[in-house]
Amino acid sequence: MTLFPAPARTSSVAAMMHMILLRLLSMTLSLLVASVVIFVMLQAVPGDPAAFMLGLNAQPDTVAALRTELGLEGGLIQRYVAWVGGMVTGDFGTSYTYRVPVAGLVADRIVVSGPLAAYALILTLVIAIPAGVLAASHRGRVSDWGVMGFTQLGIAVPNFWFAMLLVAFFAIYLGWFSAGGFPGWSTPVQAIKALTLPAIALALPQASILARVLRGALIDTLNQDYIRTARAKGLSRRATVIRHALRNAAIPVLTILGLQFSFLLAGAIIIENVFFLPGLGRLIFQGITQRDLIVVQSVTMLLVFAVIAVTFAVEIAYTLADPRLRRRSAT
């Protein structure tokens, strides 16, 4: 569904460049629209942050000075342009409550949220790939039923509740982990330990979904003729799955992984709250409760950027993974 069809009869490299350019264009457009939506939405919030910060007895000129300092003066369009211009150059504005640059707050928090998301993603793959392969290659047998039943449950369990149960069992009952908080990266082992339960809580539903998708995709590919050929030429079952089927099942898996990134971010907001982790999710949440709207605005924009960028990367990844897609411009 591109606006312009790819030029006919060009080399596959040129077609691919064309596709990447179009995707970049559409990505920029999405970001622009998203920024307008977020900006306009937050303009609807009642109240003047400057007056709110200075309290009831503030002098009008002090309030006016603070408004200027926070970039609240000027027309709507002027402020929007200033905000977007700032975001592009890494200036995310000044937090109303902390009076420090939002970029600094984000930098402090991203060292928690980033590793947490990566950890959860790794766990998701580590759980989902073997489970999906096991279920698909033993289709209809006990292990398949087991994986399907377990993943059905994994999808139905709210991750924050699962997190609470993990805390109750592993942190309070067994005492293996701390129940919450983050010690900082100066003690890497402790830091990773603090992220382990949250990462498990985040990974379980995602792994359940991914395992089911992988099973479905693998079953589809395992029914293909070339798999029979591979088996007929004497390749073992295991080698066939690993060398031939998995590679072809990669496309749906990549798609789902890309979509899951967005769920992972959303889930992290909740999970960071369960474990009192000082991450981006908690920052957004605190921004809301403290009416620190510039924090909410800039961090939301950043998250949307992350999701759009990942979607873009996934699309590029599957054109690389699947030569057939290179000739067509992406759908």
Shortest Cβ 289–another protein spacing (Å): 8
**Residues between 106 and 165 with contacts to another protein, criterion CB under 8 A:** 152-153, 155-161, 164-165
Instruction: List the Cα angle 236/241/243 in 5-degree steps.
Output: 90
Contact segment (CB under 8 A) with another protein among 17-25, 39-47, 60-68, 91-99 equals 39-47
Closer Cβ to another protein, 70 or 171, answer by number: 171
DSSP, collapsed to helix, strand or coil, labels residue 55 as coil
Q: Locate tokens 């949307």: which residue?
A: 304
**Residues between 168 and 187 with contacts to another protein, criterion CB under 8 A:** 168, 172-173
Q: What does the per-residue mask of binding to another protein show for 8-27, with x meaning CB under 8 A?
A: ------------------x-
Q: Judged by CB under 8 A, which of 39, 80, 98, 263 binds another protein?
A: 263
The H or E element spanning position 61 is: helix 60-70
Asked if residue 45 binds another protein (CB under 8 A), the reply is: yes
Instruction: List the Cα angle 296/58/78 in 5-degree steps.
Output: 45
Nearest to residue 163, comparing CAs of 116, 125, 129?
A: 116
Q: Judged by CB under 8 A, which of 19, 222, 230, 296 binds another protein?
A: 296
| Eight-state DSSP code of residue 316 | H
Kindly write down the DSSP assignment for every residue of 241-291, as one continuous string.
IIIIIHHHTHHHHHHHHHHHHHHHHHHHHHHHHHTT--SHHHHHHHHHHTT
Question: Which residues of the shown chain bind another protein in the complex (CB under 8 A)?
Answer: 1, 3, 26, 29-30, 33-34, 38, 41-42, 44-45, 152-153, 155-161, 164-165, 167-168, 172-173, 262-263, 265-267, 269-270, 273-274, 284-285, 288, 293, 296, 300, 303-304, 307-308, 311
